[in-house]
Amino acid sequence: MSDTKTLKVEKTEAEWRSQLTPEQYRITRQHGTERAFSSPDFELGKKGTYHCVCCGKALYSSDTKFNSGTGWPSFTQPISPEAVDEHRDTSYGMTRVEIRCADCDAHLGHVFPDGPAPTGLRYCMNGVALTFEPAEA
């Protein structure tokens, strides 16, 4: 049986800074948040896959994207349970569940228990933490 677990992507801060825009770096490496309704690829209806901007890992399918009304791209679930990791976040005087890329620990956003069926979850992501790959026609 082969081990499908991937190795963690590890880079120096200088390497991340040279690869990412200042906004991508602030959000993914420093746990920032983009302004609501400012995300690239925010519109619904585009078919494809959303990947981590830092390492390229496939994270979310457009089939699970929905309009949450919050101003951030929202999904009902990741592309697979192994795609993301959950971390307890107690910043800003509240307790939330932070979502990070499982391969490179990039901060992506948070998950909340107020989403639609079938999961009841809302994976509220920073759009600049994601890249979009359109589905082939």
Contacts of 59 by beta carbon, 8 Å cutoff, 6+ apart: 49, 50, 51, 52, 78, 79, 83, 84, 101, 108, 130
Contact 112, 35 (CB under 8 A): no
φ, ψ (nearest 5 deg) of residue 135 = -70, 150
Residue 54 is among the residues annotated as catalytic for this protein: no
| Active site (catalytic) residues | 124
